[in-house]
Amino acid sequence: MKRILAIAVSALAFANPSMAQNSINDVIALLKGDNAISCNYSYALKGDFPLKSSGTALLHKHKYYLNENGIETYCDGSTVWTVDRKAKEVLVSKSEGSIVSRLEDFEDITISRYTGKTLSCTLKNEAHGINIDFNAENISISRAPEDSSAFIFDTSKLGSDWIITDLR
């Protein structure tokens, strides 16, 4: 969920030049809006367990789709499907809450570079030891998909060779 927040905050907060100077309330309003946000991203989680990764994101209100290093994550707002097509495995779980409800996790968001289509920033939460360097490229705001199919993974169409773990 932390990486989703980093992606959402960064892509949404700064997808529009005027957003770079506005408050977190403007970010929340954009997240709740009718538009979809998409971007390519990379991040580095610093700390005791460093991690680097990259992928693509599509965000709309409380829904999202991520494709990160071949692992796909779908969320329709209540259910999360994490899909590894190579391993033929799906993990199904409850959503941990909307992106908007989780924005408070970050005490500090510092922008180091913003061009309108690209962004570099740092997101921090000292209490939880979270320090993320985040980069987004090809940031785009567009009309939201007509239906929610982009945010749902249908496990009923999978063959018997797939492993589905449902934790709901």
Q: pLDDT at position 22, please? A: 44
Residues facing 122 on adjacent strands? 110, 133
Backbone angles phi, psi at 151, to 5 degrees: -115, 10
Taking only the tens place, the pLDDT of each residue in 11-68 is 545 445 455 444 345 556 666 778 888 899 999 999 888 899 999 999 888 899 999 9
CB distance 89 to 73 below 8 Å: no
Residue type, 40: N
Residues 79-130 have pLDDT tens digits of 999 999 999 999 999 998 766 666 667 777 777 777 767 878 888 888 778 8
CB 108 within 8 A of CB 88: no
Between CA 77 and CA 81 the distance in angstroms is 11
Residues 14/37, Cβ–Cβ less than 8 Å: no
Q: What angle do CA 12, 31, 121 make, to 5 degrees?
A: 25
Partners of 51 in the β-ladder: 45
Q: Give the residue extent of every domain in the chain.
A: 2-166
Q: Scanning the structure block, which residue is given the tokens 């954009």?
A: 30
Tokens of 40: 């390519």
CATH code for the domain defined by 2-166: 2.50.20
SS3 assignment, position 61: coil
pTM of the prediction? 0.80
Strands 71-75 and 63-68: antiparallel
For 134, other C-beta atoms within 10 Å of its C-beta total: 22
Residues pairing with 64 in the sheet? 59, 75
Residue 21: what pLDDT? Answer: 46
